[in-house]
Amino acid sequence: MQQDNSPLPALLKILAKLPGVGARSSRRLALHLLKRKDAVLYPLIDALSTAATDVVSCRECGNLDTVDPCGLCTDPRRATQQLCVVADVADLWALERGGSFKGRYHVLGGLLSALDGVTPEQLRLDALVSRVKALGITEVILALNGTMDGQSTAFYVGDKLAPLGVKTTRLAFGIPIGGELDYLDDSTVSTAMAARQLL
Amino acid sequence: MPPSAPRIDHLRLVQFRSHALFEMETDTASLVLVEGANGTGKTNILEALSLFGFGGRGFRNAATMELHREGQAAPWGVAVTLDETRYTLMEAPGDTRVFKIDDSIQKSTPSFGEAAALLWLTPRHDRLFDSSAGDRRRFFDRFVSAFYAGHSGHLRAYDYRWRERRALFESGGAVDATWRRVIEQSLAGHAVAIAAARNAVLAQLQRWLAEPLADFPPASLALLGWVEQRCGELPAVLVEQELLERLERGALEGVLLPHQADVTALHLGKNAPAHRCSSGEQKAVVMAWLLAEARLLAAEQERAPILLLDEPFTHLDVTRQGALLEALLALGCQVWLTDCGTLSAPLPAATKRLKLAA
C-alpha cells in the first residue's frame, strides 16, 4: 500500500466510516469503484455531488427532499388530518414502502435517550405541537421503535400532546406477519394477547 | 421426575479453549463424570454446555473471542446432541456466533429452549454466603429466569431505566419533569414485576428446601428487598404507586430496590445463618438450594433440568460426597460433574466416566 498522504488510504478511511462498512468492506468497495470508473465511480461522484447541493431537510416535517417544503408536505391529497410521528427519515421511508399511510409525517430526528445524551430539546417536539395545531390534525400516530428508547419517547410525546386533546395512537405490538408463535418472546406473545382483535 | 428427563448423548468441541478437538458419547447416562488433573480442560467442557444456558454466555460470562483455543485464530464450535436434536453454536466472522438447531439457523439466544433448562454450580459458589449480595441475587435471578422466561427481560429493562434515571440527574441543569416521570413509571413497573416473580419462585422453592434429599441440611431462604417485602403485603398496583411516589420524592433512604436486594439462607439444622456455618456446611446449603431448584423445575414445569457441577466434591467429607451422589441419582436428571481427585466415595455403577489426560 502507498503512503498515508496518497489518495487510496484516504478513500479507504472515509469508506470505513460509513455505517455497516468495516476495514475489509472498505477495501472491497474501493477496488470495485476503481476498477469500474465509468460504470460506477463517475456516476457515484455525480450522484453524491448532486445530493450534497440539492437535498435538503424539509422545514415542515424533517423529511429529505430536493424541495423545501418537501413533496409529501405540499401534496394536497395528503392533507388528511392524520400525522405520523417517526424517529428518523429511514422510518418514514419504511412506512412509505408499506404504502398504507396516506397522511403527513413528522420526523423527530431521533429518540430520547438519557444514556446517549439525547434530550427533549434535541428532538423536533415544539415543531410537532405547532404543526398539530396549525394543520388541524385530528389523529397523531406514533410510529416509533419497540425499544426502551422508543417506548419512553412515545410516552413523552403522548404527554406533550395531551393538553391539545388530539387523539394519539401508536402502532400495534404483536405477531409479525409470517411469524411463528412458538418462536416469539414471552412479552411479545402477552402483548399480542392483550391487543387481540375481533375476526 | 418425569420419565422423559432430557439427556445429552453427544458432545463435540472444536478449537474451544484448551481443546483442539474433543468428542464424547455419554450413552445417555444420568451421571457424567469428567476426571483429570488441573489444567486438563474439565471445566471448559462444562462451560461449553453452559453456553446454552441463561444469558447465552456461559458460566464464565465469556465474550466470543475469549472462547478461542489459546493462540489459535481458527473459529471455535460446540455441537451438542440432546434427545436426538442437534444444537450447534459456532463462531462467525465479525465477533458473532451462529446458533443452529439441527440445520436451521436461529435468531434467538442459544438455548435448549423447552427441551431442557441448565442449572450450574462452580467453585465460585462455594463461598456464596460470604460473597456479595449481588452474587447471591444473580444466582437466584438466574433460576427465576428459568422459571419465568419474561424475568430476564424485566431485569434488563429495569437496569436500563435505573441507569437512565441516574444519567438524568447527573446530566447537570434542570431535570425535565415529564421525562423523569416517564422513566420512573417504567422503572416502577419493572421493579414490581421482578419482585413479584422472585417472591412467587421463592415461596415454591421453600417447600423443597424444607425436605432435602439424602441427608442434605434443610434450609430456608429469605429475600431482603423493599419492593419484595411490600409485594407480600399489598396488591402489586398499590406497591407500584407507592414506589413511584417514593421515586418522585427521592425518598429512597433505607429502601432496598430490586437491584440491591439480597437473598439470605438459614441452615435449619443448626438454626444459623448460612454465612456463620463452616465452609463444608455452606457448600451443602448451596447444593441443597440448587437441588431444590432442580426438583421444583421438574415438578412444576415438567421441564427437568440438566445440572453442571464443577468440582462439587471439594470441601465435602466422604459421607457428604456419598450423600451428594445419592441425591443426584434420586433427582433422575442428567448431571455433569468434574473432579480432580477429591472424590473418595464410591461411584454409582451407571456413571459415565471420562478421564482427561494432561
Residues B4-50 pLDDT 10s: 689 999 999 999 999 999 999 999 999 999 999 998 999 999 999 99
Q: Which of A148, A159, A186 sits opposite B178 (nearest CB)?
A: A159
Name the pTM for this structure: 0.84
The CATH architecture of the domain made up of B131-282 is: Up-down Bundle (1.20)
State residue B50's pLDDT score.
95
In a domain, A189, yes or no: no
Which among B108, B145, B170, B183 is the top mutation candidate for probing chain A, defined by the most A β-carbons within 10 Å of its own β-carbon?
A: B183
Q: How far is CA B161 from CA A151, B187, B239, B284, B355, in A?
A: 11, 6, 18, 37, 48
Distance from the B201 Cα atom to the nearest Cα atom in chain A, whole angstroms: 18
Residues A147 and A90 in one domain: yes
In a domain, A26, yes or no: yes
Beta-carbon contacts below 8 Å between A and B = 53
Radius of gyration of chain B measured on its C-alpha atoms: 22
Q: Read off the pLDDT of each residue in B54-63 and give the average, rounded to a whole number.
A: 86
Q: How does DSSP classify residue A121?
A: G
In the predicted structure, residue A39 carries a pLDDT above the cut 90: yes
pLDDT single digits (tens) A154-198: 999 999 999 999 999 999 988 988 888 887 877 788 889 988 989
Are B5 and B328 contacting, i.e. CB atoms less than 8 angstroms apart?
no
Q: Quote the number of domains for chain A.
A: 2
User: Following DSSP, what letter does each residue of B303-348 receive, concatenated?
Assistant: ---EEEESSTTTT--HHHHHHHHHHHHHH-S-EEEEESS---SPPP
pLDDT single digits (tens) A88-145: 999 999 999 999 999 999 999 999 999 999 999 999 999 999 999 999 999 999 999 9
Q: Residue A78 class from Cβ within 10 Å (0-12 exposed, 13-18 middle, 19+ buried)?
A: middle
In a domain, A46, yes or no: yes
Q: How far apart are CA B324 and CA B345, in angstroms?
A: 10
Cite the DSSP H helix spans in B211-304.
Answer: 226-231, 236-249, 279-301
In a domain, A113, yes or no: yes
Residues of chain A contacting residue B185, judged by C-beta atoms under 8 Å apart = 155
State residue B304's pLDDT score.
80
Answer whether A114 sits within 8 Å of B167, measured CB to CB: yes
What percent of chain A has a predicted confidence (pLDDT) above 90? 76
Of B99, B122, B126, the C-alpha closest to B112 is: B99
In a domain, A21, yes or no: yes
Q: How far apart are CA B52 and CA A117, in angstroms?
A: 35
pLDDT single digits (tens) B141-183: 999 988 887 898 899 999 999 999 999 999 877 889 999 999 9
Residues of chain B contacting residue A151, judged by C-beta atoms under 8 Å apart = 186
What angle, rounded to 10 degrees, do the helices at A125-134 and A148-161 form? 40
CATH of domain B1-117+303-358: 3.40.50.300
Residues A90 and A154 in one domain: yes
In the predicted structure, residue B196 carries a pLDDT above the cut 50: yes
Domain CATH number, residue A46: 1.10.8.420
Domain spans of chain B?
1-117+303-358, 131-282
State residue A5's pLDDT score.
62
Q: Read off the pLDDT of each residue in B262-280 and give the average, rounded to a whole number.
A: 91
In a domain, A197, yes or no: no
Q: How far apart are CA B93 and CA A162, in angstroms?
A: 48
In a domain, A13, yes or no: yes
Which among B105, B164, B170 is the top mutation candidate for probing chain A, defined by the most A β-carbons within 10 Å of its own β-carbon?
A: B164
Q: How far is CA B129 from CA B105, B138, B274, B275, in A?
A: 41, 13, 6, 5
Which among B178, B185, B301 is the top mutation candidate for probing chain A, defined by the most A β-carbons within 10 Å of its own β-carbon?
A: B178
The torsion angles phi and psi of B80, rounded to 5 degrees, stand at -125, 130
Residues of chain B contacting residue A156, judged by C-beta atoms under 8 Å apart = 178-179, 182
In a domain, A14, yes or no: yes
pLDDT single digits (tens) B209-241: 998 888 888 999 999 999 999 999 999 999 999
Answer whether B153 sits within 8 Å of A186, measured CB to CB: yes
State residue A2's pLDDT score.
45
Residues of chain B contacting residue A159, judged by C-beta atoms under 8 Å apart = 178, 181-182
Three-class SS of residue A173?
A: coil
Decide if B1-117+303-358 and B131-282 have a common fold: no
Domain that holds residue A37: 7-54
State residue B2's pLDDT score.
47
In the predicted structure, residue B132 carries a pLDDT above the cut 90: yes
Answer whether A155 sits within 8 Å of B161, measured CB to CB: no
ipTM above 0.85, yes or no: no
Domain CATH number, residue A106: 3.40.1360.10
